[in-house]
Amino acid sequence: MSDAERLGRLRHDLSNPLSALLAEVQLLLLEETRIDPVTVTSLREIEALAIRMRSMLREP
């Protein structure tokens, strides 16, 4: 397996759980009025970091 193939596989393997994490955080944030402000802040940070990581995985 070439380095490019390994990198592609790694990107794919990391993207799947990352997408699930991001989806769960965003679902929780749909109910943010029912969550305490400190937790909402933490969820927003997790969301931002997951989006940043997703961008990094999509870079060539």
In which band, very low, low, confident or very high, does the pLDDT at 3 lie, cut at 50, 70 and 90?
Answer: confident
d(CA 34, CA 37): 9
b/e sequence 1-30, b meaning 16+ C-beta within 10 Å = eeeeeeeeeeeeeeeeebeebbeebeebee
59 pLDDT tier (thresholds 50, 70, 90)? confident
pLDDT at 60 over 90: no
pTM: 0.85
Task: Tell me the per-residue pLDDT of 5-47, one tens digit each, with 9 for 90 and over.
Answer: 998 899 999 999 999 999 999 999 999 999 999 999 999 999 9
The structural domains of the chain, with segments of one domain joined by +, span 3-58
* Rounded Cα distance, 41 and 34, in Å: 13
